[in-house]
Amino acid sequence: MNCPLDTRENTQLLLDYCTRKLEPDSVAILERHIAICAACRELARGQRAVWHALDAWEAAPVSADFDSRLYRRIEAQVPWWTLVVRPFRPPFRTVTLWRSLPALAMACLLVVAGVVLERPAGAPAPAATDRAQVDSVQPEQVEHALDAMEMLNEFSRHVRTDSPDSKL
């Protein structure tokens, strides 16, 4: 066989050999080559040393209450408006609705207060608000964020075999 280090496909063969992913037939062919090729022998030795070191570490098992803690954290991050409207979501549950009436009344009050307080004579003119909205995003920030997402996406595609190939 040709030296695996000379071609891209066969280099992968050598890496697969080191991670024991090869079929027995290919293993036999490659081992015959490794026996006579110092460069491949050295690469295989180095690769095995790395995997040996990596294999010595095992990830800690997930704790028994992992799920419940996760859900508690997610729950704690629910936005306030979700907490306000949640009791009203299941339709026709009058008991829940009765219990929730004070919260509903409070929510209405807040909305009304918000509308009243946001519309005094000194409120910013619509043009100024529009200007502020436009100024709140700078095109350079947008370019920068797109650059970052493209780089992260490319990295993610390279390191994960199962990640989708984004069209970004």
Binding site for other proteins (CB under 8 A): 8, 11-12, 15, 19, 46-47, 49-50, 52-54, 57, 59-60, 62, 66, 130, 133-134, 136-139, 141-146, 148-149, 151-156, 158-160, 164, 166-168
In the complex, least distance from residue 9 CB atom to other proteins, rounded to whole angstroms: 10
- Looking at beta carbons only, is 26 or 47 nearer to other proteins? 47
Calculate ∠ Cα 70-74-79, nearest 5°: 170
Residue 48 in contact with residue 65, Cβ under 8 Å?
A: no
SS3 breakdown of the chain: % helix, strand, coil, rounded to 5?
Answer: 70, 0, 30
- Looking at beta carbons only, is 94 or 136 nearer to other proteins? 136
- Looking at beta carbons only, is 31 or 67 nearer to other proteins? 67
In the complex, least distance from residue 66 CB atom to other proteins, rounded to whole angstroms: 7
In the complex, least distance from residue 50 CB atom to other proteins, rounded to whole angstroms: 5
115 burial type by CB count under 10 A (0-12 exposed, 13-18 middle, 19+ buried) = exposed
In the complex, least distance from residue 43 CB atom to other proteins, rounded to whole angstroms: 9
Question: What is the C-alpha separation between 41 and 17, in angstroms, rounded?
Answer: 12
Question: What is the C-alpha separation between 49 and 168, in angstroms, rounded?
Answer: 38
What is the DSSP secondary-structure string of 101-129?
Answer: HHHHHHHHHHHHHHHHHHSSTTSPPHHHH
In the complex, least distance from residue 155 CB atom to other proteins, rounded to whole angstroms: 5
- Looking at beta carbons only, is 78 or 148 nearer to other proteins? 148
- Looking at beta carbons only, is 16 or 97 nearer to other proteins? 16
